[in-house]
Structure 1
Amino acid sequence: MNERLGKVVMAEGNLFRTPSFKGETIAETALECVFGYIDGAEDRGSISLVCRKWYVVDRFTRRQLTVSCCYTVSPSRLTQRFPALQTLKIKGKPRATMFHLVPDNWGGYAGPWIFEISVNCKCLHSLYLRRMIVTDDDLSVLAEERGHMMQTLRLDRCSGFSTAGLHVITKSCRWIQIR
């Protein structure tokens, strides 16, 4: 067998691979550089499962994330796992709401997400909310806490806010692009 790949050892009827590098590890700086070139969400998820060290490196190098349903993960867990997010996309109500198959007051409230993002996502500059209920108070909190950083706010098929909420955003966020 090739020495670079290590040796396969049989113990108690099970095969084990022993590494040939004997404790040598890849420097975290090198891993961060490599992780910077991996953009796909599935690829990022896969490499973060390789070992605990790669999981930690993914935690601090992940810059963008999509939450397909706002009820699959809690906002606090997301900000603990990825504190350096720059772009966050959150989808609220299921697609069936567009066809009036789900009641309007079913859920998809952006308030808990916006509060958590405002407090704990210090690098966030782009937020995309889809099919969520966003109130004027939510927009005020976002403008007050993240206004100096916010560059893009996209409210796609969202409800619950008025022009007063948009006014607060445009007044407080100097570089904002609302789409």
Structure 2
Amino acid sequence: MDRIVFRCVMPYICDGEDRKSFSLVCREWYELDYQTRQQLAVQLFYATTLLSRLSKRFPFIKHLKLEGLKYFRALDEPLLDVTVWMKELVTYFDYLENLHLRYVQVEDENLELLAKTRGKQLRRLCLYDCDKLSTDGLKHICHHCINLTTLNLGCDQIIIKDAEWLHELALHNTCLEKLIFSTSQSLKRVNITSKFSTVDLKDFFNSAVLLEDFDGCRHHSAKTEDYAGFKYPPNMKLMEFDGCALKDELGLVIPFAHQLIELDLLI
């Protein structure tokens, strides 16, 4: 009976330290951890083994985090290169769905390899504070990772070569729910074809301080109280939104209405 209970409970224990303690009790519990662990975080600087060995220990990992040292960035030292680990990752982690990379060097070739081997099964990709990352690599991700629901690009060091990666994303991905792009402060024009309410994009408008042209919100489901603290960027010149939202949004538009060149209301 205890064995059955443990097998039912173990998948819901997500804390790494709790699982470590659990697996040290006996051989059976060690094997149970091996069979049910789906999340793994690796500090690359201290890692003494490659992922090929880790995959034998935890073959069913779905959520993987590879993290370098923030200390290197503070000292302006090169971040750890993730190339070797990426080759291991695409070879051995057959169930990978979520990948989180932080404080590492990510070459365009790394993302190309990831996209072409694990692209269709990836659901969430987060790249935080990574170096050597460019839009060429993102183009491969957006072309092959057609089932991504979250793409989080929290990197100030992204090398912007062109906007083709966004075009690839629009052409191939129909599942995306969240796109976070830290260089949104430089955006001046945004067109969204999906059905969003304006307040759903509150955080985006707060960061896109140079935005001038916004075309996109075709769905009004917000309540008046949802607009608390909401404001548009100050340089807006062209806008298009759901006319049903006019009553709630008129007060937000008036402060810069004198500079508007075009205002389209979709009725």
TM-score, structure 1 as length reference: 0.77
Kept in 1: contact 2:65–2:100 (CA 8 A): yes
| 1:22-55 Cα distance to aligned partner (Å, 9 max, x none) | xxx854x543212112121111000000111111
Q: Distance in 2 between matches of 1:153 and 1:42?
A: 24
Counterparts in 2 of 1:111 and 1:71: CA distance versus 1, 3 Å: farther
- CA–CA distance in structure 2, aligned partners of residues 70 and 56 of structure 1: 27
Identity %, equivalent residues: 35
Aligned to 2:35: 60
Tell me how far 1:68 sits from its aligned partner. 2.7
The corresponding residue for 2:109 is: 137
How is 1:19-30 mapped onto 2 (pairs within 5 angstroms)? 26-27=2-3, 30=5
Which structure would you say has the larger Rg? 2
Matched with 1:112 is 84
Query: What is the CA–CA distance in structure 1 between the aligned matches of 2:5 and 2:84, rounded to whole Å?
Result: 36
Pick the aligned partner of 2:122 from 137, 150, 159. Answer: 150
Aligned partners of 1:96 and 1:119: how far apart in 2?
30
Q: For 1:70 and 1:138, how far apart are their aligned partners in 2? A: 19
2:50 corresponds to which letter in structure 1? S
Query: Any gaps of 5 or more consecutive residues in structure 2?
Result: 153-267
Point out which structure has higher relative CO (alpha carbons under 8 A, 6+ apart).
1
CA RMSD of aligned residues (A): 1.7
* Larger helix proportion of the pair: 2
2:77 pairs with 1:77: no
TM-score in terms of structure 2 length = 0.53
In the alignment, structure 1 segments of 5+ residues that lack a partner are 1-24
* CA–CA distance in structure 1, aligned partners of residues 2 and 84 of structure 2: 39
Aligned counterpart in structure 2 of residue 90 of structure 1, from 44, 56, 66: 66
In the alignment of these two chains, the number of paired residues is: 150
The corresponding residue for 1:42 is: 17
